Structure 1
Amino acid sequence: MSYTAQSWPIGAALLQYPNTTLDGIRVQDAPARHWAGVFREVAATGFDHVDLTDTWLRPGDLAPERLRELARTLKEADLGITAVTTARCSVIDPDPEAAADNLAYLLRTVDAAAELGVGVVCAGLHQPLTPAQREALWFWTEPGGRDPEGDERTWALAVERLRAVGERAAGLGIRISLEMYEDTYLGTPESSVRLVRDIGLPNVGINPDIGNLVRMHRPVAPWEELLTPVLPYANYWHIKSYYRDHDPATGAYFTVPAPVETGVINYRRALELALHAGFDGPICVEHYGGDGLSVAARNRDYLRQILSVKLADRS
């Protein structure tokens, strides 16, 4: 699909919103007027799309009438949906029962996305936060779960289960986008590309969210080396950035969230590389900390300004 700078779907992530109301009700069970209040805030900052992030609300676990209620509420707010994003529900979780439950949930999410008319479901292999990560100021400063390296049986299980999700999605006209994330089989460009190739479905691609990698308090490759190899497979994109510094004297690393315009990743260059590689998927802008929605709105405007020039240069 051919977009202009203004029509390119750029959605607001909802990760800054809690999954319970001020009255202690799960957002999942809250009346639609609570959802409407969040959507009004999103629309008031100039967004016309939203990423239905399941840390806030899980469309795959809504009853049919509630799913229709969600669709109506979004329509009343004049918001489209860039994607349904699932987080921390790995189909190869070390707990076999949890892994099986996660697979069933992903399949339900694909079905829910089809009911909502959403073209992308974003999934990943990252595991739930550890107690230490939950207590940290920034969760990425503490080690999390890891996929077993060199374990071909677990790799084959990931391929088998993600292929099953992709096949369900293909029958419904939906893309599956696999989110890059540290210490998983989507934690490096090489492994991410291998995984998508092994799955072998044209509707399964990569979410090149290299922000998840550059924020780590350890050595990482330059951002361009992380991004360029996966761009031919990219079909959705979570965009965020971080300030990053390293003290050679102590070996210490430092990262904190940054607006896209000022962080370590040069998104002017990144968008140029992505367009050259044929990227045409929707985008979601994210930001951790503070008023994440307002920073995301600034990120959106910055990206549209870049797109206005880069797309004109290609015409």
Structure 2
Amino acid sequence: MAPLVDRFGRTHTDLRVSLTDRCNLRCTYCMPAEGLNWMPRAEALTDDEVVRVVRVGTQRLGITQVRLTGGEPLLRRGLPGLVARLSALDPAPKLSITTNGIGLARSATVLREAGLSRVNVSLDTLRPERFAAITRRDRIADVLEGLRAAQAAGLAPVKINAVPVRGVNDDEIVDLTEFAAEHGYHMRFIESMPLDAQGAWDRDGMVTAEEILDRLGERFDLVPVGRQDNAPAEEWRIAGTQAVVGVIASVTRPFCGSCDRVRLTADGQLRNCLFATHESDLRALLRGGADDAALEAAWRTSIAGKGPGHAINSPEFRRPQRPMSAIGG
């Protein structure tokens, strides 16, 4: 098969599939307290449609990794069955999921048995009262139980994602790292990005990669590991241990030059960049009787139009119309 290459020579092998725009948390940096207007279920791709798009990706375009996202993907009905179907494809992609962890305790084992390889869990604080303030839900115990269940099920390595926000949780950077190291999780900090539904993102509130590393350096001796393949995180190992901490610096240290990701929204729109302002409608093709060759052509056309980078730091930057919860992480 011909690889999925853009005009800048980047080969795309990583597909992020959003399974829903719904979420059972209301994180302050993501959406308003009342939530959003969720898309009607009829607009979301069916399991058959998701499997077909992924099959075209793996068999005709060289996709090797698929990450299931949301919204909160564990809210997708019949998720283990969908995972089993995706893992049965030939060639089979490596399957992972990004979740808030609330439903992991009851689903980790069955998802592992269905073919899921790995899990990333969002956790911005270890303090129950602060968790309730950030997420507007008192569910930290469920998340911690979910982390334990994922590790016990063999979804390794379990990674924790945290978004430090100045004056909110940035005083826990070291605490979160120590917690992850103690329990055998991999810690990753993510610079906040202008993808909230409210449009309230403020660069001054963003804790930069440099600040994160400065604070970690005050407590730990960090040994550079670098990037693994084209992964977005720069990683360091804590000297004398096997603990790994990563930083995803999308704003201050863009890694667009090595980006290998393409995204499919829950309603079947293909996005060649997280910050894309244009989408390719695969759902219309799927429901209009298009054959696999037409789907492949739509993928290739979308990737051919991918820009050199997200341009967050440029005066010409325009926020995408969709918030993060509707794009998929």
Using the size of structure 2 for normalisation, the TM-score is 0.46
Please identify which structure carries the higher helix content.
1
Q: Give the structure, 1 or 2, with the largest relative contact order (CA under 8 Å, sep 6 or more).
A: 2
